[in-house]
Amino acid sequence: MNSSPVDASASDASSMPQKRFSNLRSVRWRIDLGVLPSSPPASIDDIRRVTADTRRRYANLRRRLLIDHHSPKYGKASPDLTVDNPLSQNPGMHELLAPLVYVLHFDLDHLTQVQKLYEDFFSDEFDKISFPEGDLLSSHRIRRVKNWESGIEIENNLHKITNDHSRDELDPDTREMLLLSDSYGAEGELGVILSERFMEHDAYFMFENLMFGDQGVVSMASFFSPVAGSNSNLPPVIEASSALYYLLSIVDSSLHSHLVELEVEPQYFALRWLRVLFGREFCLDDLLVIWDELFYSSNSRYLDNDVEFNFEVLCSPRGAFIAALAVSMLLYVRSLLLATETATTCLQRLLSFPQNPDMKKLIEQAKSLQVLALESNILSSSCQTYSNKNQLTICRGYSLPSASALPKTSLNVIADRYWEEQWRVLHKDEELRKQSNGHLSSSGIMKKILTKRLSFSRTNSEPFEGNNAHALSSVRRRLFDDSSEVIEAAKDHVKSECNESPVISNNLNVGKGFPEELADQRTSNCMVEETFLSGHNALVVSTPTSPHDIGNDHENESEKSSITSNSFLGDNDEETISMEESCSQNKQDEESTNMEEPCCQNLDKQLAQVAEATSSGDVDSIPEQIAAPKDQKPFAGKFQWLWRFGRGSKEENQESKRSQNAGHIQKDGFDISQCDGTYASCGINKRIEVGDKKVMDTIRNLGQSMLEHIQVIETVFQQDKSKFDPLDNLSNNILGGKGQGTAIAALKELRKISSLLREM
Amino acid sequence: MVLVLAIGDLHIPHRAPDLPAKFKSMLVPGKIQHILCTGNLCIKEVHDYLKSLSPDLHITRGEYDEDVRYPENKTLSIGQFKLGLCHGHQIVPWGDLDSLAMLQRQLDIDILVTGHTHQFKAYKHEGGVIINPGSATGAYSSMTYDVNPSFVLMDIDGLRVVVYVYELIDGEVKVDKIDFKKTATTQSAH
């Protein structure tokens, strides 16, 4: 009669292995919770014996603790009234007990029904022979796992020999139920597994095992009050809440980030979910299904003690299932949650879970997430340290709302890796920027050098004070500012590339015969320049192009060579050319003098802008310094000295090569210094360009300013042209003509460059 | 498990703008079956709010109540208990146990709920219980400024009543519990 157990189960079983006693929830749960033995071959007898034992234990317990009708049962200490009062929003432990009692009741009802149906079999008679009644089996074919069947058979044979034949014809469930409720089986009445008389005992033990986890990981009692000796200082329920957020971040980072953004801490809703194991979220029938799955997952810790893990609660399949179910619930209402704008509405939606969810889908998703949760719980050592480092940014989403501060170190959270990396990348950028900005060179030396340099160049400037472009003077005045800031900015730049200074200084000093101090100044200037020039971009051209319009053609070649020898260590040929051009432009006629001013201003501005990008220096400070030499106005700035000095040095360089009149020489001086300044600004530009976005903006600004200057220069050019013609001698006129041509060319160049820059 | 809320002396809007938020979050509609309000609400809006918490609302008149139609005393029966309600400013000396006991005997009740002193008190006296739920908003009283917001919830279960007192101390809700058991009343059989 009995089909071979394995075959039957194999053919009939669904994808999931059938559980024992699957129609008797209370028994099933008792086994899962550990009240009853769960080892597969546990016979009904064993089960009965254990049942009897538990009931005896409970009876003893009750006798000890029960004083009168209203004393607390279960040996509880005085309950925490903030949780346990009738108005408390927090669910009480009794809500965990209620479904347990319910299933006991339910099974008893079921038993009574079956008893009614199979009256004969359930009769109290012993060793009585009776024959089966008709076709009782047809409506009760339920597939079952059969590994216990042989055991059952033996039981049958032992106890109900005479009824053996009849029993065989019963379906397995009923047979089982018979045995479970048999008053004459092992342990007699006390062993009757489905017994109304001992419902209290059974309920107690189910409750106890649920609360204390049966030496497993998840113990519900810990969710209600902290358990001493836990690893972290976190209350377990808070830790479990963060565990579910962590799982959510792995599965659906956008929803997770949305919730974090709204500052919806997980425990706001998870407290209620976890403490009564979702008892308040689902109707009873659904809840029973969930608890079936939940209890089916074993509660034993599956990790070794020395394996590091993220969350305590995820160390057992049951805990993982709890977290997974919570996440799958969140995903179920995902669109609703993403639509919320405030934390309040979000919580409202979370705490009023839809009435009739698709339980199957929920549970299946939960099962798949359970596996994920178990895997993700194990931390590798590298991740551990990493997460520790970044806890500040990551843990913010998991901090407690209340005053009790969480020690961050205890919460090993690896939030979404993507966000971590983003944070790291941003942080690095920030640091880089700060580094580039914050370097302070040997300020004292720099100041000294610059002062000397600028003082030298000042002497050169005096003859030119007469040729003021009034149109530009106002501009210059506008740009007048404190020089120290500029120096600071320069220093900042200088510091970063100090190593290249010797080369530059050598170059500059060649053939110049300048006093050492000046050389130093130039060195520093060149240092600055070098710094700036060492970048990779060829964009620096903006600054130098400004003096283009000033243009003296014949100066170009010599200029180029001098410039090249001087400071270009980088591979910036474009830059060189442009610089040369600009410098050549600087070798100006009187007419170009005026051009210089805007160029200077341009340079200044650009330098300043660059400084702005790196520090909070004024835009005006640099231009002021560079523009100074041409002015009659005494500029306090030191860069002007620098500029003039540079000009002077250039003069020297060019003298031998060119046949120029004194005016030119002086202009050369201007040019050189301006070129130097140009270098500086170029360098600054380049220096900052290196991988820094701010510089892009700066460059754009530079382009913009360049354009403005071009316009200014053009107007001045026009003015000066008319002005100069009657005054200058022939040579000058020639030069002027040439200058004009070059100036126009330079202007075009400027325009091109500025457009380029603006595009950046 | 019949929940009876004893609350009073809110003095809204004169002395307090509203109930504390934590109290409001606990007082959700549908949980409480009866409300006994000692008085001094003072305005209709508060009456409406309390009505929304529970349909069975009993109020007695406090000296600042704007609705003059509330009675001075009220008695009602819940489960096995007889309850009485009075504001308490009529009983002089205010808050005096013996005088209150007089009122209790007069009304022939098991549980007397009065207010006016804005101080929570619960006495077991001569087989009965006298409860003062204090002021739910922490409004100052004629006698003191130092008032913690408090109210009382009674859980009547057969012959036993559990009195939960909710007090807001330093921003945290503290709950305390007192058990009273009524001795089976000997009724003359008729």
- Which of A81, A86, A87 is closest, CB to CB, to B176? A81
Q: Is the dihedral of CA A36, A39, A45, A49 positive or negative?
A: negative
**Rounded CA gap, A757 and A698, in Å?**
9
Q: Which residue of B has its CA nearest to A85?
A: B164
Q: Is A88 on the interface with B (CB under 8 A)?
A: yes
- Considering only residues 111 to 140 of chain A, which have any Cβ-Cβ distance to chain B shorter than 8 Å? none
B42 pLDDT above the threshold of 80: yes
DSSP string over A690-701: TT-HHHHHHHHH
DSSP structure class, residue A35: S
pTM: predicted TM-score of the whole model, two decimal places: 0.47
Do residues A566 and A662 make contact, with C-beta atoms less than 8 angstroms apart? no
Q: Give A87→chain B minimum CA distance, Å.
A: 6
At residue A318, the 3 state secondary structure works out as helix
- Which of A70, A85, A89 is closest, CB to CB, to B25? A89
Do residues A445 and A524 make contact, with C-beta atoms less than 8 angstroms apart? yes
**Of how many residues is chain A composed?**
760
pLDDT per residue as tens digits for the range B65-76: 988 899 999 999
> What is the strand order of the sheet B160-169 is part of?
B56-59, B34-37, B2-7, B150-157, B160-169, B172-181
Q: What pLDDT score does B106 carry? A: 92
Q: What pLDDT score does A239 carry? A: 83
The widest CA-to-CA distance across chain A, in whole angstroms, is 145
Q: Is the dihedral of CA A473, A477, A479, A485 positive or negative?
A: positive
* ipTM field: 0.72
Q: Is A86 on the interface with B (CB under 8 A)?
A: yes
Look up residue B119 and give its amino acid.
Q
Q: Which residue of A has its CA nearest to B23?
A: A87
Per DSSP, which regions of A594-736 are E strands? Answer: none
**Rounded CA gap, A746 and A580, in Å?**
11
Q: What pLDDT score does B35 carry? A: 93
**Residues near A748 by Cβ (< 8 Å), separated by ≥ 6?**
none
Q: Is A87 on the interface with B (CB under 8 A)?
A: yes
* A interface test, pick of B164, B180, B182 with most A CB neighbours within 10 Å: B164
Instruction: Look at A81 and B175 and tell me if their CB atoms are within 8 Å.
Output: yes
**Residues near A324 by Cβ (< 8 Å), separated by ≥ 6?**
A247, A365, A366, A367, A368, A369, A370, A372, A373
Q: Give A359→chain B minimum CA distance, Å.
A: 29
Low-confidence spans in chain A with pLDDT less than 70: 1-22, 40-42, 67-83, 89-92, 120-170, 225-233, 305, 379-695, 703, 716-717, 719-740, 760
- Which of A81, A82, A87 is closest, CB to CB, to B31? A87
**Residues near A660 by Cβ (< 8 Å), separated by ≥ 6?**
A587, A654, A668
- The tokens of A712 are what? 């200014």
Instruction: Look at B153 and A81 and tell me if their CB atoms are within 8 Å.
Output: no
pLDDT per residue as tens digits for the range B126-174: 888 999 999 999 999 988 899 999 999 999 988 889 999 999 999 888 8
Q: What pLDDT score does A344 carry? A: 80
Among left, alpha and beta (phi > 0; psi -120 to 50; other), residue B149 is beta
CA neighbor of A168 nearest in space, from A182, A154, A184: A154
Instruction: Look at B26 and A87 and tell me if their CB atoms are within 8 Å.
Output: yes
At residue A85, the 3 state secondary structure works out as coil
Instruction: Look at A89 and B26 and tell me if their CB atoms are within 8 Å.
Output: yes
**Rounded CA gap, A50 and A36, in Å?**
6
Helix (H) or strand (E) holding A327: helix A317-332
**Residues near A347 by Cβ (< 8 Å), separated by ≥ 6?**
A264, A268, A269
Q: Give B156→chain A minimum CA distance, Å.
A: 11
* Chain B residues bordering chain A (beta-carbon distance below 8 Å): 1, 3, 25-27, 31, 153, 155, 160, 164, 166, 173-177, 179
Do residues B53 and B5 make contact, with C-beta atoms less than 8 angstroms apart? yes
- Which of A70, A81, A86 is closest, CB to CB, to B160? A70
Q: Is A403 on the interface with B (CB under 8 A)?
A: no
Q: Is A401 on the interface with B (CB under 8 A)?
A: no
> What is the strand order of the sheet B73-78 is part of?
B73-78, B81-86, B111-113, B128-133, B120-125
Q: Is the dihedral of CA A27, A29, A35, A41 positive or negative?
A: positive
At residue B174, the 3 state secondary structure works out as strand
Q: Which residue of A has its CA nearest to B173?
A: A82
Percent of the residues in chain A that have a pLDDT greater than 90, as a whole number: 1
Do residues A400 and A233 make contact, with C-beta atoms less than 8 angstroms apart? no
